[in-house]
């Protein structure tokens, strides 16, 4: 992959001093400055001076900076700070991805600036960066980086579930009470669900055959044809029949994430969020940070459908409870990926659409 302006930056996983498995897919929604620093002490000090001179810009809202270190002496002194972190690239894998290290081991220290959509905005040799840092200081707000208003590439489809079905799904959840919802992490080659502060939500699976059939019929009749029309994608499988509850009592939310970044979730193609009671809560909207701060809120019974590759979040519910039906969709090629990765995770069998 060539590192050229306008191209999507390569994805990677690399430890920092505070996170043993930082996933670069979390970059979206802000500018990212990567500094592939020299191993030479004096040249490295000059590059670090550049970062220090612009430290106030790295606020984790508009921009974050990451130094990429390969030598143990520098790694031993690195400490993550808000807005400025350090990738510990001991094997040089990240440096090679960004052409800062050749296949024969020649170091080419450089700066790489990414836009909020993870595309390359500018590059510069490590010691020839005056123009790049002038650009950094003049950058507009992330939502204005394209120079035109942005809209996330999502499908909003009203009237997928009728009011009666929405009420019965909520009642089904209330009768069960839900269980705390985890997030999927890849640990020792396995995709596992873990409970942490990245998400505050409770879920219940719809195991009643008749209720599941009704939801499937509504999806296949009303929503799946719209997905095919909008995205040229024919859904073959529906993963999970699940009602989720985001409750203002615990600030229900889900921080920015993507839905297909582990081996156990790589088969997912599209995510769907169907609000069951849109008029009864405040907050709790969807935001796609790579496309600005705008939020999306389908009406009761309406769906938002989007690629699982898009960075998205569920903003905190500030009043009431948000109930939503949250399936994933995939096709035969996704089913083959799922089957190949089956040993890495445990989940219920999906239903054919």
pLDDT of residue 2: 78
Phi, psi at 66, each rounded to 5°: -135, 125
50 vs 94, residue with greater confidence: 94
**pLDDT tens digit string along 104-152?**
889 999 999 999 999 999 999 999 989 999 999 999 999 999 999 999 9
For domain 155-352, which architecture applies? Sandwich (2.60)
Domain ranges in the chain are 13-144, 155-352
Mean pLDDT of 311-340: 97
Q: Give the least confident one: 24-28, 92-96, 265-269, 296-300.
A: 24-28
Is 186's pLDDT higher than 80? no
Token pair of 179, please? 């269980």
Burial of 168 (0-12, 13-18, 19+ CB in 10 A): middle
Burial class of residue 210 (count of CB atoms within 10 Å of its CB; 0-12, 13-18, 19+): exposed
Q: pTM of this prediction? A: 0.88
- Using one digit for the tens of pLDDT, what is the confidence trace for 145-180? 999 999 999 999 999 999 999 999 999 999 999 999
Q: What is the pLDDT of residues 65-98, one digit of tens each?
A: 999 999 888 888 888 888 999 999 999 999 999 9
64 phi, psi to nearest 5 deg = -130, 150
CATH class of 13-144: alpha beta
pLDDT digits (tens, 9 = 90+) for 272-303: 999 999 999 999 999 999 999 999 999 999 99
Cα 347 from Cα 327, distance rounded (Å) = 13
Using alpha carbons, select from 262, 263, 245 the residue that is nearest to residue 254: 245
């Amino acid at each position: 992959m060539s590192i050229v302006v306008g191209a999507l930056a390569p994805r990677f996983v690399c430890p920092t001093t505070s996170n043993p498995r930082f996933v670069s897919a979390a970059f979206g929604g802000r500018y990212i400055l990567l500094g592939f620093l020299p191993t030479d002490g004096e040249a490295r000090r000059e590059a670090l001076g550049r970062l220090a001179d612009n430290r106030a810009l790295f606020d984790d809202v508009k921009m974050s900076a990451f130094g990429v270190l390969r030598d143990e002496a520098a790694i031993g002194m690195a400490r993550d700070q808000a807005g400025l972190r350090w990738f510990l690239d001991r094997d040089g894998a990240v440096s090679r991805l960004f052409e800062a290290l050749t296949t024969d081991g020649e170091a080419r220290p450089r700066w790489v600036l990414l836009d909020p959509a993870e595309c390359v905005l500018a590059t510069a040799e490590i010691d020839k960066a005056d123009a790049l840092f002038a650009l950094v200081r003049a950058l507009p707000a992330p939502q204005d980086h394209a120079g035109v208003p942005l809209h996330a590439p999502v499908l909003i489809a009203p009237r997928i579930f009728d009011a009666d079905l929405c009420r019965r799904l909520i009642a089904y959840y209330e009768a069960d009470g839900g269980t705390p919802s985890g997030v999927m992490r890849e640990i020792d080659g396995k995709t596992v669900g873990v409970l942490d502060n990245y998400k505050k939500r409770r879920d219940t699976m719809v195991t009643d055959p008749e209720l599941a059939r009704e939801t499937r019929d509504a999806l296949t009749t009303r929503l799946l044809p719209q997905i095919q029309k909008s995205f040229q994608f024919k859904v073959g499988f529906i993963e999970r029949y699940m009602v989720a509850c985001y409750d203002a009592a615990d600030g229900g939310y889900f921080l920015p994430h993507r839905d297909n970044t582990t081996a156990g979730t790589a088969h997912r193609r599209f995510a769907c969020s169907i609000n069951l009671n849109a008029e009864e809560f405040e907050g709790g909207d969807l935001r796609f940070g790579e496309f600005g701060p705008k939020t999306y809120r389908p009406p009761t019974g309406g769906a938002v459908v989007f690629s699982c590759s898009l960075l998205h979040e569920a903003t905190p519910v500030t009043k009431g409870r948000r109930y939503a039906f949250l399936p994933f969709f995939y096709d035969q090629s996704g089913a083959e990926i799922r089957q190949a990765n089956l040993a890495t995770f445990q989940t219920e069998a999906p239903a054919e659409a």
